[in-house]
Amino acid sequence: MSPALVWSLLALALLIIAGLAAYALWLWRRVWHQQRRQTAAEQRHHEQLGGDLRILAGSLLDEQLPLIEGAIRIKVLMDNYDPQLSQDPRCAVFHQLYAATAHVPTHGDWKALDRRERQRYRSQFSELELQHKAAVRAASRWLLNDALIKNISP
């Protein structure tokens, strides 16, 4: 092989390597950009859930939201917001009410119930509210005043 051919092949190989390196760098930059976007989206979602939890807890305390419905919604949001916070013993009442009402039909199934069945469920709701009202209010107050303030970032 002539030296000119060797140098030409070497130069071609270096160009190919440089091109592949540039392409790899471009791909990595896309990955890093996507990771930053995903992190920002997760942060926005977390902040939105925290805001929703504040609204629900405040609405429960102001009695603008039915106790059972509010407790269920708070439990579900907390599970998505911060599973560790959701497992805090001070939030156990939300889990208890969720479990106690899990069998109750919702939406169209609720509307399909006859009047007596709906009344039976409403009676159960009233009993649960009387039993757990103080605990739900205390847990909601704790969420607003302590937990959600300390848990602002993921």
Q: CA-to-CA distance for 69 and 67, rounded, in angstroms?
A: 6
Helix axes 67-81, 92-101, angle to 10 degrees: 120
Residues 6+ apart with CB under 8 A from 101: 68, 72, 124, 125, 128
DSSP 13: H
Q: CA-to-CA distance for 10 and 21, rounded, in angstroms?
A: 16
Q: CA-to-CA distance for 81 and 65, rounded, in angstroms?
A: 20
Q: Does position 154 have pLDDT exceeding 60, yes or no?
A: no
Dihedral in degrees, nearest 10, Cα atoms 52, 60, 132, 83: 10
What pLDDT is recorded for position 150? Answer: 67
Angle, vertex CA 97, rays to CA 149 and CA 121, nearest 5 = 140
Task: Please state the rounded mean pLDDT for residues 89-106.
Answer: 95
What's the pLDDT band for 6 if we cut at 50, 70, 90? Answer: very high
**pLDDT, tens digit (0-9, with 9 covering 90-100), for 47-87:** 999 999 999 999 999 999 999 999 999 999 999 999 999 99
DSSP 144: I
Q: CA-to-CA distance for 4 and 71, rounded, in angstroms?
A: 80
